[in-house]
Amino acid sequence: MAAPPSVAIYPGSFDPITNGHLDLISRASRMVDLLVVAVLRNQSKHPLFSVEERREMIHEATGGFSNVEVTSFEGLLVDFAASRGASMILRGIRAVSDYELEWQMALMNRRLRPEIETVFLTAGEEYSFISSNLVKEVASLGGSVTGIVPLSVEARLQRKFAARAV
């Protein structure tokens, strides 16, 4: 009997997607049959981009991967993962500072659904300083984010901040 397809969920805010996220997606897409990039619908955060805009940007940036799907979810991550038949949750570690919160979340998620494993990948060192928050801050002040985010994200950031300036 054939083994069931391996499915991993890569959850996050992706506000916006960066080349650090993309590096992780590229590594993970080689490890599983299907990688579901899932934008969290979180009422308590105040994102720059709407969930739909974030999904569009991820979609544009991941078009070259045949086994990557883009979606959004709300509620408990492990319940969403189970509903998609996923056995893995993928998270990224940039530096030691990411570790504590990621470790807490991984243990809580294991408690909730022990059959789902959290897998951590490290981004390439050239991406390890990149965060969506830093990208937004630099772009809002007119700094260049070329090479740090996909081209389409760069253009959208410029439009967003130009619209805010008027």
- Is residue 29 involved in binding ligand ADP (CB under 6 A)? no
- Residue 50 annotated among the catalytic residues of the structure: no
Q: Which of 7, 8, 9, 21 binds ligand ADP (CB under 6 A)?
A: 21
For 71-80, b where at least 16 C-beta lie within 10 A, e where not — what string? ebbeeebbeb
State how far the Cα of 112 lies from the Cα of 149, in Å rounded to an integer.
34
Structure tokens belonging to residue 42:
């979180």
Which of 56-64, 92-100, 110-118, 134-142 is the region at the interface with ligand ADP (rule: CB under 6 A)? Answer: 92-100
The dihedrals phi and psi of 20, each to the nearest 5 degrees, come to -65, -50
Q: How far is the CB of 128 from ligand ADP (least distance, A)?
A: 6
Asked if 59 is an active-site residue, the reply is no
With binding defined as CB under 6 A, does residue 91 bind ligand ADP? yes
Instruction: Kindly list the strands in the beta sheet with 7-12, ordered across the sheet, starting from the edge strand earlier in the chain.
Output: 68-73, 34-40, 7-12, 88-93, 117-122
**Residue of 27, 84, 94, 160 marked active site:** 94
Check residue 72 for interaction with ligand ADP (CB under 6 A): no
Residue 88, strand partner residues:
8, 117
Exactly one of 7, 8, 9, 12 binds ligand ADP (CB under 6 A); that residue is 12
Q: Could you give the CA distance from residue 166 to residue 162 in angstroms, rounded to a whole number?
A: 7
Using the minimum distance from each CB to ligand ADP, give the nearer residue, 9 or 24: 24
Residues lying near ligand ADP in the complex (CB under 6 A)? 12-14, 18, 20-21, 24, 91-92, 94, 98, 123, 127-128, 130-132
Catalytic residues: 21, 45, 94, 132
